[in-house]
Every structure is written in structure tokens, then in C-alpha cells.
Amino acid sequence: MSVSDDRRLHVLRAIVQDYVRTSEPVGSKALLERHQLGVSAATVRNDMAVLEEEGLITAPHTSAGRVPTDAGYRLFVDRLSAVKPLGRGERSAIERFLHGAVDLDDVVARTTRLLSSLTHQVAVMQYPSLSRSTVRHVELVPIGGPRLMVVLIVNTGRVEQRVIDTGRELAPDADLVADLRSRVNSVSVGLPLPSVPARLDALLEDVAPEDRHVATAVARALADAVAEQSEERVVLSGTANLARSGNDFPTSLSSVLDALEEHVVLLRLMGSMATLDGDQVAVSIGMENPYEPLRTTSVVATSYGDAGGLGVVGPTRMDYPQAMAAVRAVARYVAEILDG
């Protein structure tokens, strides 16, 4: 990169930072007053003219100020040397808040509230995907008479319970329950959920004929629990933050809100952006979004472990470094909790 290119990148970065902070078009005078650019006013004006010719900034009206374009935000994000980690206090607060969760639903609810609070954007989290979830344990608990509680525990922490009537008194058959528990776990633990029903069907063939109806009832209850898990869901928090940024959506806020209500759209969006390795964070800006109603927004997303995606949606006038750092940090803690 030449000296002039490097200088213009500094000017662009300053324009992005000022516009994100103030929501007002940025002029050369303001840049010189707020930033140590080390050049003359004429040089700054010339650099802004070049940036405008390259489509990186534009004049929203006849004022002397300029605002970043989608392409300008993209260059700004691409040239971030690294995502600055959150401060120790913020990281400690995230850990304390998330580790207070009592179950998966609470983890998801806390995560979206936390992300929305940290970024002042709309937080979106995909429930752990069925295709990526595996069986951690199956428990069978006699609860009196012929009734048996079947408990499916998934690696992401989700728990499904079913109470079945086995058709016979179980108290004298403690060995049967223990044997079924052992057999079921031996063929299902570690398996992806979609493959569990077929393995359970094969298991029934090895059960003694007089016990097969009990084993069949257990297998059906587990199949029902797996089917219940198959519904892909997303949870949102902080949609009111969009209204507070209403000036960033002069004509399209209602269409953005409608799009956020379409969970299928969000699932596809999270799925397409959150297939990343390690600490990578994906950023989709404005017209880069594949869904028309979201082309006035930016999406910052990543994956949490192998389970699903989470991120934030907000106006293109977004504090990208802070949003990226928050999304990455929260995803790390969520992955630790669900893997723990």
C-alpha cells in the first residue's frame, strides 16, 4: 500500500468512527479537529474527494459532510488488523451472567439479552441445530406402578422428558429397567439425534419377547423426543434498539422488523454466516445481505462450538469492532457452557 493509500485509509477510518459516534455527516474541518491526521486541510479534502470517487464515501445531501457507503464500511472492516478483545471487566461480567443459567432455554434467553445489551443491536441466536446435536445420556426412572420416565439429555444441555405406561408393574423388574437403560445408552450415546430412531429399532430385535413391549414403549418415547428436537428455532432480543436508530432506516424500518419476524430467514442467515472455524466472525454489510428487507442492515455473526450461530443485526452505521468483539466473546462462553 502506498503512502497516499495508507493516509486515505486513515481518513476513511476517521470518517467511519465519527459517523458511527455522531450519526452526522463528517466534514474535513471536523476530521482535522478530532483526529491527529498530520496533514493539511487541503490534503484531507483531496483524500475525501478520492474516497468519494472510489465509492467509499458519499454526500447524503448538499452539505459538505460525507458518510461511509457499504463499500466504505466493508473496507474498514476488512482492514481491521485484529478484533480487539473486550476488557477484563466485560469478560468477567459475561461469564458471571451466563454461568447463572439453569438450562438451555435460560442460556439462550440470557445470551440474547446480554448481546443486545453489549452492542445496542438486535441479538439473534439459533437454538443448537438438530443435525449437530448428539445424545449425551438416556435415563429411565420408574415412578410407580407401570409408569416410567424416559429422559433424553443432549450434548448441548437440552433435556426432554416423557412419561410412559409400560403396561406392567415395574417394581419387581428393576433388572429389566437397568438392562434397558444400559442397552439404550450403548447404542445411542454420542450419536447424532437423527440416527437414533433407527438404532433403537435395531435394538428391539435383541430384547426378549416378553420384554419387547416395554422396550418398544421406551423406543417410541425417545423417537418422539428426537422429533420434538427437530424444530429449528431462533430467539431475538432488543428489537426496540432498531427504533432508537430510526434515522438510519428512513423508509424501511417496518420491512426490517417484518424480516426479523420471519424466523426462516434468520435461520438461513445464521446458517450461512456461522459455519466458521475458531474465533472467526462474519460480517455482512448492507447490499451484501441476500435478503432484500435486510439490505439496510449489517449482520455480525459467528458459531458457538459446533452447535449453531449467534450474532447481531443492526443499521450499517454500527460500531463494527465492538460488535465483533462482543459476538466473539459471548460465543466462546456459550460454547464452554454447552460443552461443559
Mean pLDDT of 116-120: 93
Mean pLDDT of 11-17: 94
Supply the pLDDT for residue 3. 62
Mean pLDDT of 48-59: 93
CA 48 – CA 53 distance, rounded (Å): 9
Mean pLDDT of 210-218: 88
CA 21 – CA 7 distance, rounded (Å): 21
Mean pLDDT of 254-272: 78
Supply the pLDDT for residue 276. 57
Supply the pLDDT for residue 257. 84
Is residue 229 very low, low, confident or very high in pLDDT (cuts 50, 70, 90)? low
* Same domain, yes or no: 118 and 264: yes
* Same domain, yes or no: 283 and 303: yes
Supply the pLDDT for residue 230. 52
249 Cβ contact list (under 8 Å, min separation 6): 242, 256, 296, 315
Considering its fold, how many domains does the chain have in total?
3
* Same domain, yes or no: 97 and 243: yes
The answer to whether residue 211 scores a pLDDT higher than 60 is yes
* Same domain, yes or no: 271 and 211: no
Among 78, 111, 144, which residue terminates a domain? 78
* Same domain, yes or no: 12 and 57: yes
C-alpha cell, 53? 470517487
The answer to whether residue 122 scores a pLDDT higher than 90 is yes
- 147 forms beta bridges with 165
* Same domain, yes or no: 110 and 150: no
Supply the pLDDT for residue 335. 86
Q: What's the CATH number where 217 sits?
A: 3.30.390.10
Mean pLDDT of 148-170: 85
Is residue 315 very low, low, confident or very high in pLDDT (cuts 50, 70, 90)? very high
* Same domain, yes or no: 193 and 287: no
The answer to whether residue 231 scores a pLDDT higher than 60 is no
Query: Domain range spanning residue 273?
Result: 88-129+232-339
Supply the pLDDT for residue 312. 94
- 301 forms beta bridges with 282, 311
* Same domain, yes or no: 202 and 262: no
Residue 83 placed within a domain: no
Mean pLDDT of 68-87: 88
Q: Is 101 exposed, middle or buried (0-12, 13-18, 19+ CB in 10 A)?
A: middle
Supply the pLDDT for residue 131. 62
The answer to whether residue 89 scores a pLDDT higher than 90 is no
Supply the pLDDT for residue 329. 92
Give backbone dihedrals phi and psi of 127, rounded to 5 degrees, phi first. Answer: -60, 150
Supply the pLDDT for residue 250. 67
Three-state DSSP at 277 gives coil
Is there a contact between 185 and 138 (Cβ–Cβ < 8 Å)? yes
The answer to whether residue 310 scores a pLDDT higher than 80 is yes
Supply the pLDDT for residue 304. 84
Q: What's the CATH number where 14 sits?
A: 1.10.10.10
Mean pLDDT across the chain, nearest whole number? Answer: 85
Residue 58 placed within a domain: yes
pTM for the whole thing? 0.77
Supply the pLDDT for residue 33. 86
More confident residue, 318 or 207: 318
Supply the pLDDT for residue 174. 75
* Same domain, yes or no: 238 and 125: yes
* Same domain, yes or no: 202 and 143: yes
Is residue 222 very low, low, confident or very high in pLDDT (cuts 50, 70, 90)? confident
CA 283 – CA 264 distance, rounded (Å): 20
